[in-house]
Amino acid sequence: MMYRDLPCTKVNPEGTEETTDPVAEEVPVTVTVNGRQVATAMISPEGLEEFALGFLFTEGIIKGREEIDSIQVEKGSVKVITKNLLRVVGPRRTILSGCGGSSSFLDPAKLPKVGSDLTVQAEEISRFMKDLLRSDIHQLTGGVHVVGLCGDGRILSTAYDIGRHNALDRLAGQALIRGIDPGRTWVLSSGRISSEMTRKCLVAGIPLIASRGATTTLAVSLAEKNGLTVIGFVRGGGMNVYTNPWRVTRG
């Protein structure tokens, strides 16, 4: 389950009420590669295989699914074995579920450039954002982010997590599992576009990311330099395009 009903005392001007409230689950999950701990993520407890795959992909640890020999999901851990067993990944670290807690193996100066010539209609971005935010779990808990992978004029898949970047990793994992070409897709997010979100898009080769929320200066500068389109404040039919606006078409 993505959430649990927990006891809660509601306080308001009229008084207090003993009740329960749905609260998003958060669990630590350790990812190992070839017997070495790579990361411990604080994440939502479902779909751990796709998360691990996507995480390894967007961190540049694997280039594709064909590098994977075995994935074993157990309680609290995802163990990955690559076909090249001599592959050793750097020191362990913890990825926090919230913002700013994440560090990366990747050198920001060496991020790949996005070559895709994909364009998307502004109207489609607004419409899909509305569809995405209608998600039950997002509405119910108010604490679970939702991201969607779009392409071919529809939302191809959605992923949920207490962390935006974890949700994006899940999407990347789904794309790998389904053999979707990232260069023909774009991402919608309920949460802010920070630098780790743009970094993951760049590594995955996804050319556009749009959010209901804001973005950051570092995210914008990374996107500008590497050809990614970043869009914030997709609300009520409008949006702010911060970088590479040529990908957004009208009419």
Partner 1 sequence: MIPPAIREDFPILSEVCYLDSAATSLSPEPVLAAMAEFEHVYRANVGRGVHRLAQVATQKYWDAHQKVRRFIGAGGGELVFTRNTTEAINMVALGLPWKKGDRVVTTLLEHHSNLLPWMRLRDRQGIDLAIITPGADGTLDPDDFREAVTPGTRLVAVTHASNVLGNLVPVREIGEICRDRGALLLVDGAQSVPHLPVDVGELGCDFLCFSGHKMLGPTGTGVLWMKRPVIEPLLLGGGSVEQVTASGYTLTKGYARYEGGTPNIAGAIGLARAVEYLEAIGMEDARKHEQALTKRMLDGISGIGGVTVYGPRAEADRIGVVSFTVKGLHPHEVAEMLDNEADIMVRSGHHCCMPLVTRLGVPDGTVRASLHCYSNGDDVERLIGAVDGIARGA
Residue 157, H or E segment: strand 154-161
Closer residue to partner 1 in complex, CB, 36/184: 36
Binding status of residue 90 toward partner 1 by CB under 8 A: no
Residue 99 annotated in active site: yes
**Binding string, 8-37, against partner 1, x = CB under 8 A?**
------------------------x-xxx-
Structure token pair of residue 80: 């990955």
Binding status of residue 185 toward partner 1 by CB under 8 A: no
**Binding string, 43-72, against partner 1, x = CB under 8 A?**
--------------------------xx-x
Compute the distance between CA of residue 34 and CA of residue 30 in angstroms, rounded to an integer: 13
β-strand partners of 80? 33, 71
Compute the distance between CA of residue 176 and CA of residue 122 in angstroms, rounded to an integer: 27
Closer residue to partner 1 in complex, CB, 29/193: 29
Give me the helix-helix angle, 164-178 and 48-58, nearest 10°. Answer: 90
Structure token pair of residue 51: 């998360």
Binding status of residue 217 toward partner 1 by CB under 8 A: no
Structure token pair of residue 79: 């163990």
Closer residue to partner 1 in complex, CB, 71/96: 71
Residues that bind partner 1 (CB under 8 A): 32, 34-36, 69-70, 72, 79, 81, 85-86
Catalytic residues: 99
